Amino acid sequence: MFFFFFENKSPTNSFFFAFLQIDFRLLVKEMKSPIGGIQVRDRPYYTSQTQWTTFRNCFIGSEAVDWLVKKNDLHEREPAILIFQHLLSQGVIQHVSENNMQFEDNDQFYRFVERE
């Protein structure tokens, strides 16, 4: 069980604080669920003027953030981004390039790391 603490400035320039208590094993299980989880599928990627490649079994960073924000009724995207950054740094997910250690809330592809 982990606790995350966030401090952000609101649009009114006042500070707000939030604590999230997270069971990462349960969260990852929910993310991977074929029903209601993050959409994991093969994704084509345009690499050059004439070449396409397909990344297998991956999800899009911004869609994963959307999923977590909606699931947990978060009012900001930043807590979800930090949670995915934590999952990336712990080796639970990885960028498809396998060498990018910064989670980005955009169209980058990520996949779950299958542990043996």
pTM for the predicted model, two decimal places = 0.80
pLDDT digits (tens, 9 = 90+) for 8-29: 544 444 444 445 567 888 889 9
Residue 39 has what pLDDT?
A: 96
Residue 68 has what pLDDT?
A: 94
| CA 74/CA 27 separation, integer angstroms | 15
Rg (CA), the chain: 16
- The model's confidence at residue 6, banded by pLDDT at 50, 70 and 90, is low
pLDDT digits (tens, 9 = 90+) for 32-74: 999 999 999 999 988 777 788 899 999 999 999 999 999 888 8
Residue 111 has what pLDDT?
A: 96
Whether 61 contacts 103, CB under 8 Å: yes
Structure token digits, residue 62: 């911004």
Residue 8 has what pLDDT?
A: 53
What fold characterizes domain 2-10+22-112?
Arc Repressor Mutant, subunit A (1.10.10)
Q: What are phi and psi of 81, to 5 degrees?
A: -60, -45
Output DSSP code: residue 77.
S
pLDDT digits (tens, 9 = 90+) for 83-109: 999 999 999 999 998 888 999 999 999
SS3 86: helix
